[in-house]
Chains A and B, each alone.
Chain A
Amino acid sequence: MMGRTIFIDPGRCIGCQACVSACRECDSHRGKSMIHLDYTDEGHSVASLPTVCMHCEDPVAPCAEVCPADAILVTADGVVQQADTTRCIGCANCVNACPFGVPKIDLGAKLQMKCNLCYDRTAYGLAPMCATVCPTGALFYGTVEELQAERPGVQVADTFTFGRSEVRTGVAMVVPADRVRWPVPGGLPVVEINGKDVRR
């Protein structure tokens, strides 16, 4: 069963990018953010979704699997590390292999960089920097039990399907709890603007 990891809850994300700024501040790759924020329905809704490394478990992380230089190491506790600087040849195979679009290449340095679950912080019992600051809890660090204690009824998903292949990940997505919702009236038809008929 899942240990202490990040849970991503897109329903809570407000797109503030605190996670992006925080990632830039953490010590493992200072100055660069390894998170990106996606807007899932641009122009229609402000919905946003942070993407951090999913730390794939099964099969072996695709990025690590395709690395010809064996630069991407996976620790015993399932954290897929950033490329080892002494081994990485900057070929970008990992970038192409990752189904979630996570690893980045610093072309100048010929080096792959990615989220390593803030190893420098988690080793001291702290949450990764992004999950520490996220003002909304869209990024939550802890166990599934801790998550469910805080958010009654939520379910999590840690298996994703891409075509015929399935990937089980160390980082999980939160599936919203069922709840009774009030109907929200849709947008108004544009017939008048401040009293003026604009249907020409």
Chain B
Amino acid sequence: MPADRWRADQDGETLVPTHCCFCGVQCGMYLRVDRGGKVFGVEPRNHDINRMRLCPKGINAYQQVNHPDRLTAPLMRRSRDEDFREVSWDEALDFTVSEIRRIQQSHGNDAFGLLGGASLFSEKTYLVGKFARVALKSRHVDYNGRLCMVSAAGANKLAFGIDRAGNPFSDILLTDCLLIAGSNVGECFPVMTQYVWGARDRGAILIVVDPRETAIARTADIHVALRPGTDSAFFNSVLHVVVEEGLTDEAYLAAHATGWEEVKAKAAEYPPARAAEICGVPAEQIVQVARAFARAPKAMAWHARGIEHHSQGVENCLSVINLCTATGHLGRPGAGYGTLTGQGNGQGGREHGQKADLLPGGRSIMNEEHRRQICGIWGIEESELPPAGTSMMEMVWQMQRREIRGLIGICNNPFVSLPNYAVVKEGYDATEFHAQLDFFLSETAANAHVVLPVTTWAEDEGVMANAEARVVKHNKAQDPPPGVRTDTWVMCELARRLGAGDKFAFPDSRAVFDELRIASAGTVNDYYGITYERLEETGGIVWPCPSTDHPGTPRLFEDGRTYHPDGKIHLQVVEWHSPMDPYDDEHPMSLTTGRTVAHFLSGNQTRRLGALVEQTPRPWAEIHPSHGFRNGEPVRVVTRRGSEVFPALVTEAIRPDTVFVPYHWPVPTAANALTIDALDPRSKIPEYKVCACRIEHAEKIDEVPAPPVAPGHVAYPETQVSRTDPLPPTSPQGRGTSERG
């Protein structure tokens, strides 16, 4: 009996091996299932990824499976002025289908859109893409991974022709210099920290680039606390120093890269003195970073939303790639790059066609050849396959303009997660019909016409790809509660009613996965060799995996070849430009947003779990002591979109010119009522990480609303804990101050 299968047999309880439903680390865990077949607890699992470790979200995740707030019957209303009533599945689906028909007949197929999510299993994200194009025949499909790591995806695709991290987590343990940019690893990917600390134990130099002193920045050898929105200036300057000091790997560049001369010429325009001024950091730090990174025998760079959530997110990521390439730190154990994905399936969620411009296998919807291949698999005419659609935020703008009049949302909560809440609300309110699939009534679902109750991750099987592009299998631990259906069933049933039933004859996830494997065969994102059986045996396989005897590809470019036809790294020139929301006398500071360790994305799930609510019941505004606020005092944060009042968390762990507000809560405590809906022109990712703001003294702190629940349910008392307290009962990560002394 393996040590982590303790007592399972004795108590009549079973342990179902699966993975955490939350972030892109995808920790292995067992769900404890009682004799009656109900999930009632969690037990850590000795999986390669996490080796028993779990963060508080993972430990508490099981509590949502049988949570009293679960939706158990379809909800419906004909207009937003009415209250929801519980209806049968037939009535809800009939109404949905008749509204789709009505809108598409009078305004064209593209007037109806679909928005998916990157917390869905890959099978379901594949279905979202296929459903939009084949059943709805609409070009308008996108997903909330658009808000997550598409900048990194875009940069990797441009430079390497493949969109994923270059190295497995375990390579971190082998590196001599670890550079982490814009990633609060301790709170957003806590279980990754063991790799960071492991590297440090072996003497690796740790460099953290972040405007805040996070838990990993605290112990970093070099913490570069740069001004938000200046990352590419910083990395250009580091590259400048690398070139100046003769630390480039010219042999590597000559053999493997194109565009180096242009990149080098651009870097020459960023001497440390200039970058120091732009970034607000000492010039010597830039020199230190360059030397540490370039001189290390093996160096790695990992980044996350901190550099990606920008109107120049793609460029920021490219500037990191330029640095790794110029120093020859790629494709070796302990040398390379990676992106930490926010959502569990942030990586896999975009690989199989739910992104506006992608078809399964990462194929481009603009490419004739790719279109032909997919139409062959789907059994439709090429003329029937719609062209590329628009991104998630652009779809909301189209809803505002009534170009998109109907919408189905699956597994997303844009009322909390999209920037510039006022615009989002206006867009959604303008739709004539809106259906939402979820297992809790999210803030967005509470505004819909139809809400369809679907399964949690513990009630179905399917795969996700974690931040290393390792495909892992989630297993079913319990039957869904009566009245609840799988997302797969709902999409297939809707397709049947729309007349495309023959293309959606999928009895279960496995059937979808087998089509997905075939649809990905021969592409860069090759899943063909991955089967459920192999996943169960191995604990995860990293794609590309072209055949059933292929071991997978944990590390890229070991032979020096990229996935471009010429096998080269295509370096791109990066020019820094200032963020989209300009500073002025009224708005002299930067507002930046991010996550807390206790909550996940829009908080629709975690804001309902007692322990997590207790740990971090509400957002706050983190400010430097120099502004004269006392801890817990109401501080109004004002941007050009609006203003909200938070308790101040006064700390030296943030730049004086920067304010931080975590974003998991709805209005009137939503950071995203303040953020700007400016997009990166290439990745269309919103600029969450920087906008101009000012802070003022205020009278009263805005109260956090309780999460919405279905009619007839009572708000679960545990989730109401201390929502009105001015400060969290335990201060988040020690940022709460008592004045010194």
Report A-chain residues with C-beta under 8 Å of the C-beta of B652: 43-45, 187
Partner of B187, one of A16, A182, A193: A16
CB atoms of A44 and B657 under 8 A apart? no
**Chain A's nearest CB lies how many Å from the CB of B197?**
5
Partner of B42, one of A25, A41, A126, A192: A25
Report A-chain residues with C-beta under 8 Å of the C-beta of B44: 129, 132-133
Distance between Cα atoms of A17 and B215 in the complex (Å)? 13
CB atoms of B59 and A21 under 8 A apart? yes
Report B-chain residues with C-beta under 8 Å of the C-beta of A42: 731, 734-738
CB atoms of A25 and B215 under 8 A apart? no
CB atoms of B653 and A135 under 8 A apart? no
Distance between Cα atoms of A106 and B55 in the complex (Å)? 27
Report A-chain residues with C-beta under 8 Å of the C-beta of B222: 182, 184
Seed contacts A43-B740, A48-B733, A126-B6; 14 additional CB < 8 Å A-B pairs: A14-B190, A21-B615, A22-B59, A42-B737, A43-B631, A46-B214, A46-B218, A46-B733, A126-B3, A136-B186, A187-B225, A188-B225, A190-B656, A193-B656
CB atoms of A14 and B624 under 8 A apart? no
Does A163 lie at the interface of the complex (its beta carbon under 8 Å from any beta carbon of B)?
Answer: no
**Chain A's nearest CB lies how many Å from the CB of B741?**
11
CB atoms of B60 and A21 under 8 A apart? yes
CB atoms of B583 and A136 under 8 A apart? no
Report B-chain residues with C-beta under 8 Å of the C-beta of A44: 651-653, 737, 740
Produce 1/0 per residue, A132-158, CB < 8 A to B: 111111000000000000111000000
Report A-chain residues with C-beta under 8 Å of the C-beta of B197: 12, 136-137
Does B120 lie at the interface of the complex (its beta carbon under 8 Å from any beta carbon of A)?
Answer: no
Does A66 lie at the interface of the complex (its beta carbon under 8 Å from any beta carbon of B)?
Answer: no
Partner of A43, one of B41, B203, B735: B735
**Chain A's nearest CB lies how many Å from the CB of B661?**
17
Report B-chain residues with C-beta under 8 Å of the C-beta of A132: 44, 52-53
Report A-chain residues with C-beta under 8 Å of the C-beta of B218: 45-47
CB atoms of A45 and B190 under 8 A apart? no
Does B178 lie at the interface of the complex (its beta carbon under 8 Å from any beta carbon of A)?
Answer: no
CB atoms of B631 and A14 under 8 A apart? no
Does A194 lie at the interface of the complex (its beta carbon under 8 Å from any beta carbon of B)?
Answer: yes
Does B447 lie at the interface of the complex (its beta carbon under 8 Å from any beta carbon of A)?
Answer: no
Closest to B213 in A: A46
Partner of B282, one of A121, A124, A129, A185: A185
**Interface CB pairs A-B, < 8 A, 14:** A18-B59, A25-B41, A43-B739, A45-B734, A46-B215, A46-B735, A126-B6, A135-B53, A135-B194, A182-B205, A182-B222, A188-B225, A194-B227, A196-B583
Distance between Cα atoms of A132 and B285 in the complex (Å)? 38
CB atoms of A14 and B193 under 8 A apart? yes
Does B300 lie at the interface of the complex (its beta carbon under 8 Å from any beta carbon of A)?
Answer: no
CB atoms of A14 and B216 under 8 A apart? yes
Distance between Cα atoms of A18 and B194 in the complex (Å)? 13
Produce 1/0 per residue, A1-25, CB < 8 A to B: 0000000000111111110111011
**Chain A's nearest CB lies how many Å from the CB of B66?**
15
Distance between Cα atoms of A40 and B285 in the complex (Å)? 27
Distance between Cα atoms of A181 and B218 in the complex (Å)? 13
Closest to A127 in B: B52
Distance between Cα atoms of A46 and B213 in the complex (Å)? 7
Interface of A (DSSP majority class): loop
Distance between Cα atoms of A125 and B56 in the complex (Å)? 23
CB atoms of B734 and A41 under 8 A apart? yes
Report B-chain residues with C-beta under 8 Å of the C-beta of A16: 55-56, 186-187, 190, 215, 597
- Report if A24-B213 is in contact (Cβ < 8 Å); known contacts: A184-B221, A184-B222: no
Does A164 lie at the interface of the complex (its beta carbon under 8 Å from any beta carbon of B)?
Answer: no
CB atoms of B194 and A39 under 8 A apart? no
Does B395 lie at the interface of the complex (its beta carbon under 8 Å from any beta carbon of A)?
Answer: no
Partner of B6, one of A46, A124, A136, A184: A124
CB atoms of B611 and A11 under 8 A apart? no
- Report if A39-B736 is in contact (Cβ < 8 Å); known contacts: A46-B218, A132-B52, A137-B194: yes
Report A-chain residues with C-beta under 8 Å of the C-beta of B88: none
CB atoms of A135 and B193 under 8 A apart? yes
CB atoms of B186 and A22 under 8 A apart? no
Report B-chain residues with C-beta under 8 Å of the C-beta of A48: 215, 733-734
**Chain A's nearest CB lies how many Å from the CB of B366?**
40
Does A91 lie at the interface of the complex (its beta carbon under 8 Å from any beta carbon of B)?
Answer: no
CB atoms of B54 and A133 under 8 A apart? yes
Does B7 lie at the interface of the complex (its beta carbon under 8 Å from any beta carbon of A)?
Answer: yes
CB atoms of A37 and B653 under 8 A apart? no
Partner of A22, one of B4, B54, B214: B54
Report B-chain residues with C-beta under 8 Å of the C-beta of A152: 201-202
CB atoms of B194 and A136 under 8 A apart? yes
**Chain B's nearest CB lies how many Å from the CB of A20?**
7
Report A-chain residues with C-beta under 8 Å of the C-beta of B192: 135
Closest to B739 in A: A43
Report A-chain residues with C-beta under 8 Å of the C-beta of B98: none
**Chain B's nearest CB lies how many Å from the CB of A156?**
15
CB atoms of A20 and B56 under 8 A apart? yes
CB atoms of B730 and A182 under 8 A apart? no
Distance between Cα atoms of A132 and B44 in the complex (Å)? 7
Does B280 lie at the interface of the complex (its beta carbon under 8 Å from any beta carbon of A)?
Answer: yes
**Chain A's nearest CB lies how many Å from the CB of B16?**
16
Distance between Cα atoms of A24 and B583 in the complex (Å)? 47
Does A108 lie at the interface of the complex (its beta carbon under 8 Å from any beta carbon of B)?
Answer: no
**Chain A's nearest CB lies how many Å from the CB of B549?**
35
Distance between Cα atoms of A141 and B585 in the complex (Å)? 55
Does B539 lie at the interface of the complex (its beta carbon under 8 Å from any beta carbon of A)?
Answer: no
Closest to A151 in B: B201
Distance between Cα atoms of A125 and B30 in the complex (Å)? 18
Does B463 lie at the interface of the complex (its beta carbon under 8 Å from any beta carbon of A)?
Answer: no
Report A-chain residues with C-beta under 8 Å of the C-beta of B657: 192-194
Report B-chain residues with C-beta under 8 Å of the C-beta of A188: 225, 280-282, 655-656
Distance between Cα atoms of A50 and B546 in the complex (Å)? 47
Report B-chain residues with C-beta under 8 Å of the C-beta of A151: 201
Does B590 lie at the interface of the complex (its beta carbon under 8 Å from any beta carbon of A)?
Answer: yes
CB atoms of B53 and A14 under 8 A apart? no
Distance between Cα atoms of A126 and B598 in the complex (Å)? 26
Report A-chain residues with C-beta under 8 Å of the C-beta of B288: 182
Does B392 lie at the interface of the complex (its beta carbon under 8 Å from any beta carbon of A)?
Answer: no
CB atoms of A25 and B59 under 8 A apart? yes
Produce 1/0 per residue, B302-328, CB < 8 A to A: 000000000000000000000000000
- The residues in B between 646 and 675 inclusive whose CB is less than 8 angstroms from any CB of A are 650-653, 655-657
Distance between Cα atoms of A99 and B186 in the complex (Å)? 30
- The residues in A between 170 and 192 inclusive whose CB is less than 8 angstroms from any CB of B are 179, 181-182, 184-185, 187-188, 190, 192
Report B-chain residues with C-beta under 8 Å of the C-beta of A21: 56, 59-60, 611-612, 615
Closest to B656 in A: A190
Does B621 lie at the interface of the complex (its beta carbon under 8 Å from any beta carbon of A)?
Answer: no
- The residues in B between 608 and 660 inclusive whose CB is less than 8 angstroms from any CB of A are 611-612, 615, 624-626, 631, 650-653, 655-657
Distance between Cα atoms of A47 and B652 in the complex (Å)? 12
CB atoms of A18 and B56 under 8 A apart? yes
Distance between Cα atoms of A198 and B739 in the complex (Å)? 23
**Chain B's nearest CB lies how many Å from the CB of A4?**
13
- The residues in B between 182 and 218 inclusive whose CB is less than 8 angstroms from any CB of A are 186-187, 190-194, 197, 201-203, 205, 213-216, 218
Partner of A17, one of B213, B598, B626, B651: B598
